[in-house]
Amino acid sequence: MMPLTLANIGEDNIIRKIGGKPEVKRHLETLGFVVGSNVKIISQLGGNVIVSVKETRVAISREMAQKIMV
């Protein structure tokens, strides 16, 4: 298991765990980041990470991406 930020760009990954405070977990779940779903890094720009989750592209901060374990 590793943080999403260490995954290769364009590689399909499965979310294994979401860390952080309960409100952070809830926020990520509303964006589509749930355990067992597929996630792929599209690009990394500055401090943001653009990912594809549930057929949608979402931009999240690097700190948020660190809390998603794949």
Does 3.30.1340.10 match the CATH number of domain 4-69?
Answer: no
pLDDT digits (tens, 9 = 90+) for 27-56: 999 999 999 999 999 999 888 999 999 889
CA distances from 35 to 14, 45, 47 (A): 8, 25, 24
pLDDT digits (tens, 9 = 90+) for 13-32: 999 999 999 999 999 999 99
- Sorted by where each begins, the domain ranges of the chain are 4-69
Answer whether 0.85 is exceeded by the pTM. yes
- Closest Cα to residue 5, out of 58, 43, 57? 43
Looking at residue 46, its pLDDT comes to: 86
Would the pLDDT of 60 be above 90?
A: yes
